[in-house]
Amino acid sequence: MHKKATFDYYDNDPLVVVTLVNPVLGKRHKACAYLDTGSDAVVIPEDIWFKLGLDKDLMASVSVVGDTVNTWYNFIDLEFLQNKHNDIEVFYNEAAGDILIGRNILDEYSVTFDGRNSKLYIE
């Protein structure tokens, strides 16, 4: 069972710190990420993809809002709330932007967004 953690929103956004790990090369990248309950997967932007040394040799069709796109994917380890999630499928986003943590991770937790009080509760 996970311990309960409380986070203040950062600049009015519900962000958490995660560490992304390329288990093949041992490269690590620590960053803030959005918890995206509307996404099924983890999405990382191009700059972080390359910092981790991830290859672009696996491709899939992915449903996005109002469309389907072809994108690269790979597998990483993800550290979140002192828990290590191994062999997590991640998708490439060629646009600069944010890391999104989707339900492939979030379904292991109870997550409450308290926008009125700018708090995020994770258990």
How many Cα atoms occupy the beta-carbon half-sphere of 102 within 13 Å? 13
Q: Domain 5-122 sits in which CATH superfamily?
A: Acid Proteases (2.40.70.10)
Contacts for 30 with CB less than 8 Å, ≥ 6 apart: 17, 18, 19, 20
- Quick one: pLDDT at residue 23? 97
Digit-coded pLDDT (tens) for 14-60: 999 999 999 999 999 999 999 988 888 999 999 999 999 999 988 88
Q: Does residue 17 sit in helix, strand or coil?
A: strand
Whether the model clears a pTM of 0.75, i.e. scores above it, the answer is yes
CB 112 within 8 A of CB 120: yes
* Domain boundaries, given as residue ranges, for the chain: 5-122
Buried b or exposed e, range 89-122, using 16+ CB within 10 angstroms: ebbbbeeeebbbbbbbbbeebebeeeeeeeebeb
